Copies of this chain bind each other. A is one copy, B any other.
Amino acid sequence: MTSSVTLTATTARERMERAKAASRSIGLLSDSEKADALTAIADALEASAAQIVAANAEDLARGERDGLSAGLLDRLRLDEARVAALAAAVRDVAELPDPVGRVLDERTLPNGVALQKVSVPFGVIGSIYEARPNVTVDIAALALRSGNAVVLRGGTAAESSNAALVGVMRDALAARGIDPEAIQTVDEFGRDGAHALMQARGLVDVLVPRGSAQLIETVVTQSSVPVIETGAGVVHIVLDSSAPLEWAEQIVVNAKAQRPSVCNAVETVLVVRDAADRLIPPVATALTDAGVTIHGDDEVRRFVADAVPVTDEDWATEHMSLDLSMRVVDDLDEALDHIRRYSTQHTESIITTDDAHIERFLAEVDAAVVMANTSTRFTDGGEFGFGAEVGISTQKLHARGPMGLPELTSTKWLARGSGQIRA
């Protein structure tokens, strides 16, 4: 069995060709076959925890020698508990409904031809991401659940961990009689592997980059394979004239401080001028109490003594930290202008009791998720009830906003006739 499981293909291209070949049988697996395969993978991850942790120790030792930051080393680290958490996440994915085979449209032509539009796997999903071994398992599980083969390219710093995880997952598939070539890594080919993945039109059907804005920009601009862009969030909250103070305080603090390092955290608060003296002092106090540093324009700083001066760069920055930019605007129009200029089209929210302003905001703001009177932190596949999150798309093609398993499928029209020809 080992010979079919070991990664014998010696070029990135050959690995992608094997993924493509494997995608045919993977795409035909039944709901329960896919769920069982994921359960087997979860079991195998737990059973192989010691081996995985040992491989991870190699990456950690190398990372320490190379001077990786404490934060990066923590993201890289796997211990028995984290491996168990990975396995649990795979079991959660196993329990999700099969996104394949949904009938999305049905019509019978006047001549009797019966048409059905059904969801089908993409085929092969590629992913380029950073040195986070959990992503290796996460993407592979989501891909398999949706009937896809997967080609992974994680950060070089996690190469040993990823190799161990991929090996365990491939063995688990093979043991169930499923083609292990459905899970491939091109890690050991370094940048050449990433390049091959981005140029694999015809072998890889869609590429999902996960990581920093810079990584995503590189993939989006260099890939000839179609990309689903999961982008950065320069997220705004508008405090309108009628914003209730309690909502303003609670939502802004929640959106910034509950978890500042994520893409749905707010970066900029725009306060409409005639509410400035009512709202800015208490909201600023609540933010400061939560440890937030406010970067304010001149008007904001008249209310907030310890605010630092905001810069033009701040408006365009996803801080990923307890920093928040704040500006006073003339009215809703100026708020909309600011958002249009600086938004990354991820999530935008307005706090107001003015129904006309709510409807204008929802209609006019061009973003994946547009909100009224709620925290931007709700932009999340789990919160939306999707059960799993593939990422949050900031593009307009194919998927926009939080993506669940259905976004990892394409469609196909089936036509059943009885000899019909076109007149």
List A residues at the B interface (Cβ < 8 Å).
24, 28, 107, 109, 113, 115, 117, 120, 122-123, 201, 205-206, 220-221, 224, 226, 228, 244, 246-247, 250-251, 254-255, 258, 340, 349, 358, 362-364, 366-375, 377-379, 383-385, 395-398, 400-402, 410-422
Q: A28-B364, A372-B415, A400-B410 are in contact. List 15 more A-B contacts (CB 8 A).
A: A122-B396, A201-B220, A205-B396, A226-B396, A246-B419, A250-B419, A358-B416, A368-B413, A369-B412, A369-B414, A370-B412, A373-B418, A378-B415, A378-B422, A401-B412
Residues on the B chain within 8 Å of A362, using CB = 414, 416
- How far is B24's CA from A366's CA once the two chains are assembled, in angstroms? 9
Interface contact A420-B224, CB-CB below 8 Å: no
Q: Contact check, B396 vs A397: say whether CB atoms are below 8 A apart.
A: no
Judging by beta carbons under 8 Å apart, are A372 and B412 in contact? no
Give the Cβ gap from A277 to chain B, nearest Cβ, in Å. 22
Closest to A264 in B: B422
Binding site secondary structure of chain A? mixed
- Separation of A107 and B363 alpha carbons in the complex (Å): 19
Contact of B396 with A123 in the complex, beta carbons under 8 Å? yes
Asked if A415 meets B122 with Cβ closer than 8 Å, knowing A109-B378, A206-B396, the reply is no
Listed A/B pairs (19) with beta-carbon separation below 8 Å: A28-B364, A109-B378, A117-B401, A201-B220, A205-B397, A226-B226, A228-B397, A247-B418, A250-B419, A258-B421, A368-B413, A369-B413, A369-B414, A372-B415, A372-B416, A373-B417, A373-B420, A375-B417, A400-B411
The residue from B107, B384, B414 contacting A384, defined by CB atoms under 8 A apart: B107
Complexed CA–CA distance, A398 and B418 (Å):
30
Quick check: A416 and B373 within 8 Å, CB to CB? yes
Instruction: Name the B residues within 8 Å of A258 (CB-CB).
Output: 421-422
Q: With A377-B421, A397-B226, A421-B250 as known contacts, state yes or no: A383 contacts B109, CB within 8 Å.
A: yes
Task: Contact check, A414 vs B206: say whether CB atoms are below 8 A apart.
Answer: no
Cα–Cα distance between A308 and B68 once the two chains are bound (Å): 67
> When chains A and B are docked, how far (Å) is the Cα of A416 from the Cα of B402?
17
CB distance from A413 to the nearest CB of B (A): 4
What separation, in Å, do the CA atoms of A419 and B205 have in the docked complex? 41
* A148 CB to nearest chain B CB (Å): 11
A395 touches B247 (CB 8 A): no
How many copies of this chain are found per oligomer? 2
Q: Is the CB of A374 within 8 A of B417?
A: yes
Docked pose: A258 CA to B364 CA in angstroms: 47
Q: How far is the CB of A188 from chain B (nearest CB, A)?
A: 28
The listed residue (B123, B364, B415) touching A371 by CB distance below 8 A is B415
**A221 and B224 contacting across the interface, CB-CB below 8 Å:** yes
CA distance A99 to B357 in the complex (A): 24
A206 touches B397 (CB 8 A): yes
A421 touches B226 (CB 8 A): no
A379 to B384, CA, bound (A): 36
CA of A258 to CA of B421 in the docked complex: distance in angstroms?
Answer: 10
> Of all chain B residues, which has the CB nearest A110?
B385
Q: Is the CB of B378 within 8 A of A113?
A: yes
**Interchain nearest-CB distance for A217 vs B (Å):** 10
Measured CA separation A412–B226 after assembly (Å): 21
Among B28, B349, B420, contact of A374 (Cβ-Cβ < 8 Å)? B420
Closest to A422 in B: B377
Give Cα A415–Cα B255 distance, bound, in whole angstroms.
15
How far does the alpha carbon of A362 sit from the alpha carbon of B115 in the complex, in Å?
12
Could you tell me the distance between the alpha carbons of A52 and B334 in the complex, rounded to whole angstroms? 43
Kindly list chain B residues whose C-beta atoms are within 8 Å of the C-beta of A368: 412-413
Q: With A and B bound together, what is the CA distance between A79 and B422 in angstroms? A: 29
Q: Are A366 and B123 in contact (CB under 8 A)?
A: yes
Assess the B369–A419 pair: CB atoms within 8 A.
Answer: no
Q: Which residue of chain B lies nearest to A395 when distances are taken between CB atoms in the complex?
A: B226
Q: Are B224 and A419 in contact (CB under 8 A)?
A: no
The interface residues of chain B lying within 8 Å CB-to-CB of A363 are 28
